[in-house]
Structure 1
Amino acid sequence: MSVTVQTSLFDLADRRQLGNGAWIEVRSGWLTDADELFDELMDVIPWRAERRHMYDKVLDVPRLVSFHNLVDEPPPHPRLKQIRRRLNDAYAGELGEPFVTAGLCLYRDGDDSVAWHGDTIGRSSTEDTMVAIVSLGATRVFALRPRGGGRSLRLQHRHGDLLVMGGSCQRTWEHSIPKTSRPVGPRISIQFRPHDVR
């Protein structure tokens, strides 16, 4: 099977400069067969719960996760490699290296979330990188704010959208998926990253 990507939208990306070398890019409706992929990933991904030490306690992480090295391991679904290839065709030249991993998060409802963070594990404090996120399922707010304070952004990350954070974004900005009290269905986030970025 192949991944269907709407080429006309792929060419019309909305890139926003955030300052200090950071940028985000949104390609609305980038994955046109998102319904089918969402259903298949819900069934085949080996979702697992995690616990983390936070605030002097060990707490449940409020989402399910699954992490995959797409170079060294067989993918849990063949489309992950196909999407990775498409992203590398578009961004590896600018990034200077390929995307090699796929981290998946399942936000089951509005109580699931991820706290403010930057994907900097494995990179130096001066090294730029890129993270590409495909969203499937329910629309959720994707929030960004400058590290150390400042005006935040709240983007609606919709079913089939691609959101790319590049330049210094992981070092100089933080992002989160906040909880919501409104009724919301499940969402799968697929984060494609280069080597040594988590």
Structure 2
Amino acid sequence: MFISTYWYVFFLDKTAWNNHSYLYGLIGFQLTLMDGNRYWSVDGLRRPSIRNAHVPLWNYTLLRTQIFIVYFIAGIKKLDADWVEGYSMSYLAHHWLFDPFKVILPVELVSLLVIHGGGLVLDLTAGYLLFFDATRPYAFFFVSYFHCMNSQLFSIGMFSYTMLATSPLFCYPDWPRRFFARFPSFLCSVPAADLC
């Protein structure tokens, strides 16, 4: 019901085209095909029989692929001359978020190396780096920093937070259980939480 209404409103107002809104619609449609109503879901709380049911790997793979495509296409779009030569968003180097970089680099190099070069490299490699265990912690750091900065620099709605929230999709599916297993045992005894 939600996804059909979402797509209806999305296609109804073509003047408000936003590729982030398109991504939300795609992910919403993909979730209708998946078993996302298992662990920590409202359905899982209402029906304990499905709470600990197995979620097929293709569910994770489809979402990971979607997020990989978001990063990679953004990197491909940055391969134009304006971006590579540092002209596309040179005004951003004057923003207070880049003050730490300006301690060691002149504003022109902050624009060229940090904003344009860093943005290009991050977008082209983030999906690959998130995929592998050895590089995932570094990728988490850089994509988190990148999206937190973007949330302050641009008015792009929930996109930065959505991308932050999708980063853990690249971890092993049991990461929440392993994470909460480190918490005190009294939290594990809360029946509705089923944390451990």
TM-score, normalising length from structure 1? 0.25
Question: Could you say which structure has the larger radius of gyration?
Answer: 2
- Bigger strand fraction: 1
- Bigger helix fraction: 2
Greater relative contact order, per chain length (Cα 8 Å cut-off, separation 6+):
1
